[in-house]
Amino acid sequence: MAFDGFVTKAVVKELQNSIINSKVNKVLEPTKNDIILSLYKNGINYALLLNISSDFCRINLTKYSKQNPQTAYNFCMLLRKYLINSKIISVTSIDLERTIEIDFECYNELNDLVIRKLYIEIMSRQSNVIFTNENNIIIDTIKHVNTDLRKLLPANPYEEVTSSKESFIKINSFEYFFDIINSKKMSNNLLNILTSSFIGFSKSLIQNVLIELNIPLNDFDKNDLEKLYNYLKRLLDCIDSNDVYCKKISEKDYVISINQEAKEDESPINDFIDDFYHNKEDDIEFVNTRNNLLKIVSSYLKKVYKKVENINSKLKECEKKDTYKLYGELLTANLYKLNSDDNFEFIELENYYDNNNLIKIPLNKSLSIKENIEKYFKKYNKLKNALLVISDQKREADQELNYINSIVFLLGNAKNLYDLNEIYEEMVMTLKIKPKQIQKNNDKPNLNSIEFKGYTIYIGKNNIQNDYISIRMSKSNDIWFHAQKIHGCHVLLKNPNNVEIDEIPDDVLYKCAEFAKQNSKAEKSINVPIDYCYAKYVKKPSGSKPGMVIYNNFKTIIVK
């Protein structure tokens, strides 16, 4: 993503117009990669974000809050000590380098007015925040660096990043610019020449400019270069006059551009940067959170599958109970024929349950015939009693397996962090996992409702919401929808006039059925049966898992 030298310069220009002479009220460090300075000026509160993560490093004003740790990091405590109640007197960028200097006017321990500085270096993995005193001696940094090239350690002088590249800002003639490009023309294409020759040029920016100006990468001429030079110089002038904007060129990238058609709804650079990176961070956090929750659910699934496997094994053993009963009955019926002292491994008897066909009955040679009979009846009774218990266990395990699979479906169907947060709260409650510090939801879930032809339709996004709309908020004559015999979200059609189902327009019923299909495992299937009935026919069995209901008196719509 192109937080390059041009974007840095534009962000700093806006900061100069907004936060100069603002007072530092708070210093926050939500993560080891984020510093937020809470500022106040002329009745307006600002939040300045300094981010040094490798993927999202930047500086911008932000409107988004972040949760802070209970114990502040050391660097945060240091900044609080020195910067609280200080005043920002300047914000500058150095050339087109991605280094920003913020000067604070504050008082030292002797109550003398001094200038302290924050340097924000935006350099991907090497990004850093450096805090220095009035003599530019480092007080501390977020990341300590001790290499042959740089020493960013306390008590060392701060030295700015140096580059062997040319400064485009200092080039005052096209001829000089042309000479630089021409000297490397044989070795590379124009995109690589520019990004490797000049400070602050990103590939995203240059690619966009070349496309806008219709300049080829390789077969370019002097006129093309002059157009490029003039455009880039004009871009710098427009940054100075705040006449630029950010243009999104893909879901993952953006560039700064000349604002040729000023529009009232165009956001300032800081606002665009804030929204763009916040959304990207949310996307990554969403994926990571969902993957972590899926790992937890997967471990539970393995346990339940193992439990079901053991139960099925026991059920298979219980299937032998009738055989043991038959052996006992046949031995009893033929006891008068048998010598109790006979010592056989098996005996063949006529099975009067099977047309008197012979059946081979195993015997324990160490036991008498009567003892063998007792052994078989004892096994039969034991397995008969076990079957009752194991059948209950099987039913409970199947319900548990069905419920956990519903969690897997809901995690796959979640659209944002709030959805995941609600599912996580459900997992804490039902799966007894150890809760982490999460945002508390209100008693009333954040329901997804849709208006269609004068009717209100509610769609559950998780099992808690499914229970809420199906059991708690539904009225008797509201219409309830669910995909038949498959995991899915509950859909509720409010029926404020309490009319009969037949009086509700068919297209409204079909739309609700479509929502039930779209929010089920059968989303991509065709001819999906969707059951629907009055909400009064939907019941929740006592002790059942969230989202588990039974229903009757239903009709079915086939959604194509």
> Tell me: the pLDDT tens digits for 245-264?
888 888 888 988 886 554 44
pLDDT score, position 235: 93
Please report which confidence band the pLDDT of residue 437 belongs to, taking 50, 70 and 90 as the band edges.
Answer: very low
Beta-bridge mates of residue 450? 457
**Residue-wise DSSP of 137-179:** BEEEESS-EESSS-EE-TTSBP-----SSB-STT---HHHHHH
Q: Give the mean pLDDT of 474-500.
A: 94
How far apart CA 531 and CA 554 sit, in angstroms, is: 6
> Would the pLDDT of 273 be above 50?
yes
pLDDT at 261: 53
The answer to whether 496 touches 475, Cβ cutoff 8 Å, is no
**What's the pLDDT band for 135 if we cut at 50, 70, 90?**
very high
pLDDT tens, 289-345?
Answer: 999 999 999 998 999 999 999 998 888 888 888 888 988 888 888 887 777 656 678
pLDDT at 26 exceeding the cut of 60: yes
Q: Enter the tokens of residue 170.
A: 């200092």
Q: Output b/e per residue, 336-353; b: 16+ Cβ within 10 A.
A: eebeeeeeeeebebeeee
The model's pLDDT over 371-420, given as tens digits with 9 standing for 90+, comes to: 888 999 998 999 889 888 998 888 888 888 889 999 999 998 888 888 88
What is the CATH architecture of 5-152?
A: Roll (2.30)
SS3 for 309?
Answer: helix
**Mean model confidence pLDDT for the chain:** 89
- CA dist 237 to 147, 169, 244, 247, 268, Å? 38, 10, 9, 18, 17
Q: What is the mean pLDDT of residues 148-152?
A: 90
Pairing outcome for strands 138-141 and 128-132: antiparallel
Query: What pLDDT was estimated at residue 444?
Result: 52
